[in-house]
């Protein structure tokens, strides 16, 4: 890790596979992400404060016991911070929990003051546990000094730093709180990319190459999928393994990314985009934006009734470049189909457009994803779910074994190598990777409809009491 060689094993394997023609640039790939639980316990804010302070005291008791004895009431604090926070239950009362949080806060500030006092050894304040204590206290508490004295208060939810900056554990400073599809966790996210080329139409051309994992990317839990779209393509480009088509779910793309990835990498993103969210589009009635003709060169729009816009102005909406188009108020008020076009009672119809290249790419993507042909093609993406399942079941990727992002990524890179080797072994030896369990009733039905050879093998398996297991049918079919 000190020399940035976390992915060296994966790079060497992919290079060897490229030399043998088993993986190459172009073709199709698919990518998806899944959550990774950190190798630390989930802590709420009260537990985080107590455990962070306890970890700092444990460190000081180990490296500077004499100083700690003189600086703090060790016996009193040992009763309060000796046990780990997961060995006892916090008070059920909300008021008592709030008071406990303030006690933690005051004690934490007292310890920090003692460590930064002139009488304390300077090197104490540089200890990682003390640096973490200082950061956690800055993020969760604030202190006000008045004539009456010093008042410690706990920060309210709206006063907390962004989740990307907020520490979730004193033992893993890279882990963050994450949310995906309504599920919260503490830890990381991993993005897995693999090949998914179609098998050769002629069986005589040989067995299709196995699905090969071409990239693995690990982030903290707060990084969105869209933020990783370009970095993933940069990693694939560095390996000379950029696909021609990249299948992604709706969390990865935006109009800007669809254009940028095509322009910078020559890769077409096959992914659903968000549909038009205008009231007309949601209702499926009236004139949504697609009913208007946009003349980009003349910088104007024409409505379904033939009226031309009178206002075209670049703008910024939520930090994103946009174009606002407006129609004349008097023209819209006199229009007989006004109710199908705008809900404004006094103004005219207005449109919000993205810059031309992005808007045209977005319109094309929206039009394509409504066709049955596109849906059938996009079905290729679903296979990445099986890869994630294999990674979780075989390598235990759901929970990291190590603390810290670099070590977690190293583990994921080795997991990708292991999965590739398992797939290559199965492919070279003709062993199926799937171990689908088939019940006895289903196997009986298969034996009645299969070829005589397969049917005989299935019937033999059904009649063998010693072989009566829920997954033996799958193995019999595969071997036959």
Q: How are beta strands 245-247 and 268-270 bridged, if at all?
A: parallel
42 CA to centre of own chain: 19
Strand order in the sheet with 320-326: 311-317, 320-326, 350-353
Instruction: Judge whether residue 415 has pLDDT over 80.
Output: yes
**Closest by Cα among 324, 373, 329, 378 to 351:** 324
The backbone torsions φ and ψ at residue 292, rounded to the nearest 5 degrees and listed phi first, read -100, 140
Side-chain half-sphere of 64: how many Cα atoms within 13 Å? 19
Inform me whether the pLDDT recorded for 458 exceeds 60: no
Least confident of 8-22, 214-228, 265-279, 417-431: 265-279
Report whether 102 contacts 141 (CB < 8 A): no
Token digits of residue 179: 């949310």
Per the CB < 8 A criterion, the answer to whether 154 and 101 are in contact is: yes
User: 198 with 205: CB under 8 angstroms?
Assistant: no
- Judged by DSSP in three states, 83 sits in coil
Residue 463, pLDDT score: 52
Q: Which residue has the higher pLDDT, 441 or 170?
A: 170
* pLDDT of the residue at 474: 38
State residue 479's pLDDT score. Answer: 37
- The answer on pLDDT for 457 being more than 60 is no
Mean of pLDDT values over 245-267: 94
Res. 136: pLDDT tops 90: yes
- Determine the Cα–Cα distance for residues 41 and 43; give it in Å rounded to an integer: 6
Question: Residue 36 pairs with which residues in a beta bridge?
Answer: 188
Q: Which contacts of 108-114 are long-range, i.e. CB under 8 A and separated by 24 or more positions?
A: 108/49, 108/52, 108/53, 108/133, 108/136, 108/137, 108/141, 109/137, 109/141, 109/143, 109/150, 109/152, 110/72, 111/53, 111/56, 111/57, 111/72, 112/137, 114/71, 114/72
Q: Residue 423 in contact with residue 433, Cβ under 8 Å?
A: yes
Is residue 280 pLDDT above 80, yes or no? Answer: no
Pairwise CA distance, residues 432 & 244, whole Å:
28
Confidence (pLDDT) at 286:
79
Half-sphere exposure (Cβ direction) of 346: Cα atoms closer than 13 Å: 0
User: Helix, strand or coil for residue 130?
Assistant: helix
Residue 198 in this model has a pLDDT that exceeds 80: yes
Residue 129 CB partners (closer than 8 Å, separation 6+)? 55, 56, 58, 59, 60, 170
Q: How many CA atoms lie within 13 A of 368 on its CB side?
A: 15
Over residues 385-411, the mean pLDDT reads: 94
d(CA 297, CA 383): 43
Distance CA 26, CA 209 (A): 14
| DSSP structural state of residue 33 | E
Q: What is the pLDDT of residue 17?
A: 94
470 near 439, Cβ under 8 Å? yes
256: left (phi over 0), alpha (psi -120 to 50) or beta: alpha
Instruction: For 297-440, list the strands marked E by DSSP.
Output: 300-302, 311-317, 320-326, 350-353
Residues 343/352, Cβ–Cβ less than 8 Å: no
Closest CA to 44 of 164, 162, 169: 169
pTM higher than the cut 0.75 = yes
**Mean of the per-residue pLDDT values for the chain?**
87
CB 433 within 8 A of CB 443: no
Q: Decide if pLDDT at 449 tops 80.
A: no
């Amino acid at each position: 890790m000190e020399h940035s060689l976390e992915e060296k094993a994966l790079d060497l394997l992919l290079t060897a596979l490229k030399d043998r023609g088993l993986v190459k640039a172009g073709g199709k790939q698919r990518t998806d992400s899944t959550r990774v639980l950190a190798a630390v316990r989930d802590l709420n804010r009260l537990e985080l404060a107590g455990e962070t302070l306890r970890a700092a005291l444990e460190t000081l008791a180990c490296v500077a016991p004499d100083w700690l004895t003189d600086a703090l009431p060790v016996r009193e604090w040992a009763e309060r911070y000796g046990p780990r926070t997961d060995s006892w239950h916090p008070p059920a009362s909300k008021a008592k929990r709030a008071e406990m949080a303030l006690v933690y806060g005051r004690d934490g500030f007292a310890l920090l003051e003692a460590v930064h006092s002139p009488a304390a050894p300077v090197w104490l304040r540089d200890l990682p546990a003390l640096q973490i204590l200082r950061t956690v206290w800055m993020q969760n508490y604030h202190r006000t000094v008045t004539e009456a004295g010093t008042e410690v208060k706990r920060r309210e939810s709206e006063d907390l730093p962004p989740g990307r900056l907020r520490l979730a554990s004193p033992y893993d400073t890279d882990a963050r709180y994450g949310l995906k599809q309504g599920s919260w966790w503490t830890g990381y996210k991993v993005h897995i990319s693999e090949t998914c080329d179609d098998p050769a139409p002629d069986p005589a051309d040989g067995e299709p190459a196995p699905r090969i994992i071409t990239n693995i990317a690990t982030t903290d839990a707060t990084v969105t999928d869209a933020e990783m779209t370009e970095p993933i393509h940069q990693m694939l480009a560095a390996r000379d393994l950029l696909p021609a088509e990249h299948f992604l779910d709706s969390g990865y793309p935006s109009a800007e990314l669809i254009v940028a990835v095509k322009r910078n990498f020559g890769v077409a993103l096959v992914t659903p985009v968000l549909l038009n969210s205008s009231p007309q589009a949601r209702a499926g009635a009236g004139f949504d934006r697609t009913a208007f003709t946009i003349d980009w060169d003349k910088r104007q729009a024409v409505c379904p009734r033939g009226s031309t816009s009178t206002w075209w102005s670049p703008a910024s909406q939520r930090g994103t470049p946009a174009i606002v188009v407006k129609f004349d108020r008097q023209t819209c008020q006199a229009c007989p189909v006004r109710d199908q076009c705008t809900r404004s009672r006094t103004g005219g119809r207005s449109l919000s457009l993205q810059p031309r290249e992005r808007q045209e790419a977005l319109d094309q993507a929206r039009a394509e994803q409504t066709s049955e042909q596109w849906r059938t093609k996009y079905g290729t993406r679903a296979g990445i779910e099986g890869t994630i399942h294999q990674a979780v079941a075989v390598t235990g990727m759901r929970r990291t074994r190590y603390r810290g992002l670099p070590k977690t990524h190293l583990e994921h890179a080795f997991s990708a190598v292991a999965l590739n080797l398992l797939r290559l072994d199965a492919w070279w030896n003709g062993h199926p990777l799937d171990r689908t369990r088939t019940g006895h009733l289903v196997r009986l039905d298969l034996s009645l409809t299969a070829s005589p050879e397969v049917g005989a093998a299935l019937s033999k398996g059904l009649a063998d009491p010693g072989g009566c297991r829920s997954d033996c049918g799958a193995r019999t079919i595969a071997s036959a």
